[in-house]
């Protein structure tokens, strides 16, 4: 028997329950793993609340990302050994698998070797953040040295990964945050510029920073009315990539700015490319090289134990964190 987090109804963090379940044995193409640390993601909070891209099939398991060790291999699985340290990456539906548990069954296609030199907690903060940043900024936008990239919700794990990714290719990272509380941390994390939207006009500041040219790339999980400000701040021919909906307000389409500037406004999730082996291999090589050189370094905001899973989700949704929220198994 293993502790497994499930929820039988959607709602607030308290709907998650820790249950004693028989995890079973891995089937063909699967592995059984012992979970050490779990990286929490906004997608999981939305899934739990019933507000995600897919609706949970109740009772639902939950969790995309973890550091673990291999306990058993299913039929046809090669390249891994019992006892080996691995990372579970977000490559599957949570209606099929979930890693909020002491032990879990996971698909082989959703695993990678754990990056060398990282602790289980650090490794739990790598794959969702850096794959998401790479897919948007490098794969889709083709961000290059000398270009400017606006990164909103910049203190999130994906925001910090995006700052580091932009810097790694020689681009100018413009971090956007609501209050002044996280400005020093964002600068320490590598942001070339920080815009505080409670005090400054986003588009005016971007134009000042870029000498009136605007930013060719904007990467945004907020949407809502802020999309208009991003369109104002965009360079002609620029691309705005939306990867979330943190705003509770409607998202108006900036039609005239899109026409005037020939903008691309595009929705995105990392699932676009993480099922394509060649593209994923390219992303993995970029991330591993960055981790090795120190250009990419996960920032851990706070850790919780599995028994505190509801508290961890409340903290995740509070917007207090700077970096990744991680849950460790405490059995």
CB 185 within 8 A of CB 159: no
CB 311 within 8 A of CB 5: no
Chain CA centroid to CA 91, Å: 12
Distance CA 293, CA 304 (A): 29
Q: Give the DSSP letter string of 155-183.
A: TBHHHHHHHHHHHHTT-EEEEEESSGGGH
Considering the domain 2-126+299-328, what is its CATH architecture?
A: Alpha-Beta Complex (3.90)
pTM over 0.85: yes
Q: Which of 182, 189, 197 is nearest to 228 (CA)?
A: 197
Contacts of residue 329, defined as CB under 8 A and 6 or more positions apart, other chains included, come to 3, 35, 36, 37, 38, 101, 102, 305, 306
Place of tokens 């899973």: 309
DSSP structural state of residue 101:
B
Domain 129-271's class?
Answer: alpha beta
Q: Which residues partner with 37 through β-bridges?
A: 67, 328
SS3 5: strand
Question: Any idea where the domains of the chain sit in the sequence?
Answer: 2-126+299-328, 129-271
Distance CA 104, CA 66 (A): 10
The region that residue 185 occupies, defined by phi over 0 for left and psi between -120 and 50 for alpha, beta otherwise, is: alpha
Q: pLDDT tens digits for the chain (331 residues)? A: 999 999 999 999 999 999 999 999 999 999 999 999 999 999 999 999 999 989 999 999 999 999 999 999 999 999 999 999 999 999 999 999 999 999 999 999 999 999 999 999 999 999 999 999 999 999 999 999 999 999 999 999 999 999 999 999 999 999 999 999 999 999 999 999 999 999 999 999 999 999 999 999 999 999 999 999 999 999 999 999 999 988 989 999 999 999 999 999 999 998 888 777 888 899 999 999 999 999 999 999 999 999 999 999 999 999 899 999 999 997 5
pLDDT at 331: 53
Quickly count: other Cβ atoms within 10 Å of residue 210's Cβ: 19
- Equal fold, 2-126+299-328 vs 129-271: no
CB 63 within 8 A of CB 52: no
Distance CA 289, CA 291 (A): 5
């Amino acid at each position: 028997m293993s502790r497994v987090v499930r929820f039988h109804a959607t709602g607030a963090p308290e709907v998650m329950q820790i249950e004693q379940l028989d995890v079973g044995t891995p089937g063909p193409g699967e592995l059984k793993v012992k979970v050490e640390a779990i990286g929490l993601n906004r997608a999981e909070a939305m899934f739990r609340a019933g507000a995600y891209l897919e609706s949970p099939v109740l009772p639902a398991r939950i969790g995309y990302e973890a550091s673990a060790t291999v306990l058993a291999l299913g039929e046809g699985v090669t390249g891994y050994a019992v006892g080996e340290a691995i990372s579970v990456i977000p490559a599957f539906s949570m209606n099929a698998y979930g890693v909020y548990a002491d032990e879990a069954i996971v698909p082989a296609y959703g695993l990678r070797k754990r990056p060398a030199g990282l602790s289980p907690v650090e490794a739990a903060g790598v794959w969702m953040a850096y794959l998401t940043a790479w897919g948007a900024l490098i794969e889709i936008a083709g961000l290059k040295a000398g270009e400017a990239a606006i990164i909103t919700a910049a203190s999130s794990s994906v925001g910090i990964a995006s700052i580091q990714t932009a810097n790694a290719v020689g681009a100018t990272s413009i971090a956007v945050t609501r209050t002044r509380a996280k400005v020093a941390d964002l600068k320490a994390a590598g942001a070339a510029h920080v815009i505080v939207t409670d005090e400054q006009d986003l588009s005016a500041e971007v134009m000042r920073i870029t000498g009136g040219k605007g930013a060719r790339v904007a990467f945004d999980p907020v949407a809502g009315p802020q999309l208009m400000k991003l369109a104002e701040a965009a360079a002609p021919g620029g691309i705005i990539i939306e990867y979330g909906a943190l705003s509770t307000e409607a998202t108006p389409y900036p039609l005239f700015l899109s026409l005037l500037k020939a903008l691309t406004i595009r929705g995105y999730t990392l699932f676009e490319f993480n099922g394509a082996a060649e593209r994923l291999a390219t992303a993995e090589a970029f991330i591993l090289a960055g981790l090795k050189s120190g250009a990419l370094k996960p920032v851990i905001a706070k850790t919780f134990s599995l028994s505190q899973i509801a508290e961890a989700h409340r903290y995740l949704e509070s917007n207090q964190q700077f970096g990744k929220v991680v849950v460790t198994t405490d059995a």
